[in-house]
């Protein structure tokens, strides 16, 4: 099945959120009944928050760390729902997690970034979900791979899950950056561009890894027309057993949401997605143009060295006239304006001459140094 053929229900058809963005919040991990309920009570007073999240089974990088409270936490989530009316969601990574979550009446499941990287795991979860009518949110895999992300959604959809949401939580990137996970906005934009019916929400907490970047990332997500935000919150963020640096208190969340500017996308979202997609294409092409220019200059220098070794002048008028004639011809066929192309070629030529003259001017000592 192709994703274009995916049968996906729009968010507003199954969520109580009348107006977007949908906000999902709650602690990275459920730690105690008190922590879970105290956080949920405060979140329930924020009108935008409709869903309460908490990790019960935590995927940890190192084995000695807190791995979640397990099944016991499901009871606390039941209490949250009964007391506040918030919908509940947990991360599931194994078939037994799904069974326990369904048994506890959890409203929405989500599959984490570490699970989505593995098609075997996703398939196993999809099979358990066959014939079960529950919404599932799918985080992007750790690595920036649109097909892998989409593949997970397709597997679930093939099992009959139609209430699907993609969660953009950023991507592992080997280079150091201010983000814990690189947002690489072009990836969710590409998803949205290909599959406009797929709801995508953003998880600024795992993108940023720190509190001070949450607002900016959330705003950017809304500006791109994303349907909601999943933001981690904790009554005492500094004391959190997991992801302490990125969690905020419910009151900070309320303030942040107040300051977000929500644009109306009625009928306009497609325009925005297309615009972002096209801009990204331009960015890629500019990078290619720069790369090609740099490669051209390298060859120009190689020729300069060759001319020097063979005692030939830098400027050879005949070659230059041939270039102009040939390139203007090519340009005309490609629909480029003659005057524009001529000016561009002259600029490139001037820089090429400068580089070759530099080489000519170098003494042998300089060259060998
Ligand atoms: C989480 O939401 O707490 C979590 C573990 O997220 P991710 O799968 O995006 O790392
Ligand atoms: Mn977390």
Whether residue 104 is predicted with pLDDT greater than 90 in this model: the reply is yes
Find the helix or strand (DSSP H, E) in which 126 lies. helix 119-128
Instruction: Report how far ligand 2's centroid is from the alpha carbon of 359 (Å).
Output: 56
- Predicted pLDDT of residue 58: 92
User: In this predicted model, what pLDDT tens digit does every residue of 334-351 receive, in sequence order?
Assistant: 999 999 999 999 999 999
pTM: 0.80
- Predicted pLDDT of residue 4: 57
Instruction: Look over the chain and give the mean of its residue pLDDT values, rounded to a whole number.
Output: 92
CA dist 37 and 77 (Å) reads: 8
Residues 234/28, Cβ–Cβ less than 8 Å: yes
Find the helix or strand (DSSP H, E) in which 26 lies. strand 22-26
CA dihedral 63, 65, 71, 75 (to 10 degrees): -170
Residue 1: band (very low, low, confident or very high) from pLDDT cuts 50, 70, 90? very low
List CB contacts of 194: < 8 A, sequence separation 6 or more: 3, 4, 146, 150
User: In this predicted model, what pLDDT tens digit does every residue of 34-66 receive, in sequence order?
Assistant: 999 999 999 999 999 999 999 999 988 888 889
- Predicted pLDDT of residue 277: 82
Whether residue 102 is predicted with pLDDT greater than 90 in this model: the reply is yes
CA–CA–CA angle 236, 238, 239 (5° rounding):
70
User: In this predicted model, what pLDDT tens digit does every residue of 190-247 receive, in sequence order?
Assistant: 898 888 889 999 999 999 999 999 999 999 999 888 999 999 999 999 999 999 999 9
Question: Ligand 1: does its nearest atom lie under 6 Å from the Cβ of 26?
Answer: no
List CB contacts of 25: < 8 A, sequence separation 6 or more: 43, 46, 49, 51, 52, 53, 230, 231, 232, 233, 250, 253
Determine the residue of 122, 167, 169, 246 to mutate for testing ligand 1's pocket, defined as the one with the most ligand atoms within 8 A of the Cβ atom: 169
Question: Ligand 1: does its nearest atom lie under 6 Å from the Cβ of 55?
Answer: yes
Determine the residue of 27, 69, 91 to mutate for testing ligand 1's pocket, defined as the one with the most ligand atoms within 8 A of the Cβ atom: 91
CB burial of 177-206 (b: ≥16 within 10 Å; e: otherwise) equals: eebbbbbbbbbbbbbbbebeebbbbbbbbb
Q: What percent of the chain has pLDDT over 70?
A: 95
The domains found in the chain, sorted by start residue, are 11-264 (3.20.20.70), 273-360 (1.20.59.10)
Question: Ligand 1: does its nearest atom lie under 6 Å from the Cβ of 112?
Answer: yes
Residue nearest to atom 3 of ligand 1 (CA): 28
Instruction: Report how far ligand 1's centroid is from the alpha carbon of 202 (Å).
Output: 12
Q: How many CB atoms lie within 10 A of CB 98?
A: 22
Q: What does the pLDDT average to over 248-264?
A: 93
DSSP track, 210-264: SGGGHHHHHHHHHHTT--EEEEEB-SSGGG-SS-TTT-B-HHHHHHHHHH-----
Q: What does the pLDDT average to over 76-91?
A: 98
Instruction: Report how far ligand 2's centroid is from the alpha carbon of 288 (Å).
Output: 37
- Predicted pLDDT of residue 56: 97
Tokens representing residue 16 in the block: 């109580």
Whether residue 265 is predicted with pLDDT greater than 60 in this model: the reply is no
- Predicted pLDDT of residue 2: 46
- Predicted pLDDT of residue 363: 67
- Predicted pLDDT of residue 364: 59
- Predicted pLDDT of residue 77: 98
Q: Which ligand 1 atom sits nearest the alpha carbon of residue 206?
A: 9
- Predicted pLDDT of residue 335: 95
Q: What does the pLDDT average to over 133-154?
A: 97
Q: What does the pLDDT average to over 142-151?
A: 96
- Predicted pLDDT of residue 42: 98
Instruction: Report how far ligand 2's centroid is from the alpha carbon of 125 (Å).
Output: 21
Tokens representing residue 268 in the block: 């306009």
Question: Ligand 1: does its nearest atom lie under 6 Å from the Cβ of 169?
Answer: yes
Q: What does the pLDDT average to over 303-322?
A: 89
SS percent in the chain: helix, strand, coil, step 5: 55, 10, 35
- Ligand nearest to C-alpha 114: 1
- Predicted pLDDT of residue 44: 98
User: In this predicted model, what pLDDT tens digit does every residue of 354-365 receive, in sequence order?
Assistant: 999 999 887 655
- Collapsing DSSP to helix, strand or coil, 294 comes out as helix
Residue nearest to atom 9 of ligand 1 (CA): 113
Determine the residue of 69, 73, 110, 114 to mutate for testing ligand 1's pocket, defined as the one with the most ligand atoms within 8 A of the Cβ atom: 114
Residue 19: band (very low, low, confident or very high) from pLDDT cuts 50, 70, 90? low
Whether residue 137 is predicted with pLDDT greater than 80 in this model: the reply is yes
Whether residue 135 is predicted with pLDDT greater than 70 in this model: the reply is yes
- Ligand nearest to C-alpha 54: 1
Classify residue 175 as exposed, middle or buried by CB count within 10 Å of its CB (0-12, 13-18, 19+). Answer: exposed
Whether residue 3 is predicted with pLDDT greater than 70 in this model: the reply is no
């Amino acid at each position: 099945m192709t994703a274009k053929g995916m049968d996906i229900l729009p968010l507003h058809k199954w969520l109580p959120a009348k107006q977007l963005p949908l906000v999902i919040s709650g602690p990275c991990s459920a730690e105690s009944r008190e922590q879970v309920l105290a956080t949920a009570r405060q979140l329930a007073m924020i009108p935008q928050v409709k869903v309460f999240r908490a990790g019960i089974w935590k995927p940890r990088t190192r084995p000695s760390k807190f791995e979640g409270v397990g099944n016991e936490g499901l009871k606390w989530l039941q209490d949250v729902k009964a007391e506040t009316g918030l919908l509940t969601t947990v991360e599931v990574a194994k078939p037994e997690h799904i069974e326990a979550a369904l048994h506890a009446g959890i409203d929405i499941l989500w599959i984490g970034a570490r699970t989505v990287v593995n098609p075997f795991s996703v398939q196993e979860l999809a099979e358990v979900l066959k014939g079960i009518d529950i919404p599932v949110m799918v985080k992007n895999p750790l690595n920036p791979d649109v097909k892998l992300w989409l593949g997970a959604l397709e597997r679930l959809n093939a099992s009959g899950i139609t209430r699907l949401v993609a969660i953009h939580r950023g991507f592992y990137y080997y280079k150091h950056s201010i983000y814990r996970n690189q947002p690489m906005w072009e990836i969710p934009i590409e998803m949205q561009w290909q599959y406009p019916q797929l709801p995508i929400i953003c998880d600024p907490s795992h993108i940023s890894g720190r509190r001070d970047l949450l607002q900016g990332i959330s705003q950017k997500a809304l500006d791109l027309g994303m349907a909601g935000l999943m933001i981690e919150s904790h009554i005492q963020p500094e004391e959190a057993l997991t992801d302490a640096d990125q969690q905020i208190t419910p009151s900070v969340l309320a303030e942040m949401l107040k300051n977000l500017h929500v644009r109306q996308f009625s009928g306009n979202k497609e325009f925005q997605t297309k615009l972002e997609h096209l801009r990204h294409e331009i960015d890629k092409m500019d990078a290619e143009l720069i790369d090609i220019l740099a490669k051209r200059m390298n060859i120009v220098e190689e020729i300069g060295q060759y001319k020097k070794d063979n005692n030939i002048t830098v400027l050879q008028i005949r070659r230059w006239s041939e270039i102009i004639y040939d390139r203007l011809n090519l340009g005309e066929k490609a629909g480029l304006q003659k005057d524009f192309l001529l000016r561009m070629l002259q600029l490139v030529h001037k820089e090429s001459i400068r580089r070759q003259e530099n080489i000519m001017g170098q003494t042998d000592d300089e060259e060998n140094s």
